[in-house]
Structure 1
Amino acid sequence: MPLARIDLLEGKSAQYRRTIADVVYEQMIACLGVPEDRFQVISEHKPENFLFDPDYLGYYRSENCIFIQLIFLDVASADQKAAFYKAVVDDLHSELHVRPEDVFFNLMTVDSADFSMGMGRATYVNGVPTDRLDPDSVSG
Structure 2
Amino acid sequence: MEKRIINPWTWQNDRNYAQAVEVKNVQSTLYVSGQTAIDENGISSDADMKTQITKTIENLEKVILQADFELKNIVRLNVFTTDHPAFFENFDILQSWITKHGIQQATTVIEVKTLFETLTVEMEATVVK
TM-score with structure 1 setting the length: 0.31
Between Structure 1 and Structure 2, which shows a larger proportion of helix residues?
A: 1
Considering Cα pairs closer than 8 Å and 6+ residues apart, tell me whether 1 or 2 has the greater RCO: 2
Please say which structure displays the higher CA radius of gyration: 1
TM-score with structure 2 setting the length: 0.33
Between Structure 1 and Structure 2, which shows a larger proportion of strand residues?
A: 2
